Amino acid sequence: MAHAAPAPGARTPAALTPLPDVFSARTHRIAGIVTPVVLGLIYGYWAAANRRSGGEITGWNLLFGFMTTIAFIIVYVGVRALAPHLRRELHAVLWAAFVGGAFGFLYSQTDASVLRSSVMGLAIGAVTFVVMFYRYYTHEDAAGHHIG
């Protein structure tokens, strides 16, 4: 069956109307601060809960959770600051290393062996790389500029 070829330079209606930004610049700034803190607190609680294995909450467990939270926030903010300046391949590798390392650390808190934790972290990192690379490959050009 024959189909008409699109005319050069023709734009689809979706391309003409971008999605509206319903939040103000102030809201985006606040979200940029709140997001790492909330994710860090969740991660720190999760790591502390894995470490105590359902036992009682102790002062050392709380200290471990808060130190894990601080470390997660610092690394997350660093990845968020560095990643946009990289080419899409390295951008995907950086996120894969971060997610794989974070998951491997959480898994190691369950008294799993170092080998098992490393393999699980590598597996999650590999899946993250594939997903992120696909996303950046389909949404950026080779120089890393967003394709709109």
User: What does the block give as tokens for 65?
Assistant: 């959770």
Rounded-to-integer distance, Cα 52 and Cα 42, Å:
16
Give the chain's residues under pLDDT 70. 1-17, 142-146, 148
How big, in percent rounded to 5, are the helix, strand and coil portions of the chain?
A: 70, 0, 25
50 alpha-carbon distance from chain centroid: 21
pLDDT at 88: 85
Per-residue model confidence as pLDDT tens digits over 121-131: 999 999 999 99
- Classify residue 142 by its DSSP letter: T
- Give strand pairing partners of 146: 140
Residue 28: its pLDDT value, please?
87
Domains of the chain, residue spans: 30-50+57-85, 87-142
Give the pLDDT of residue 110: 92
pLDDT at 54: 80
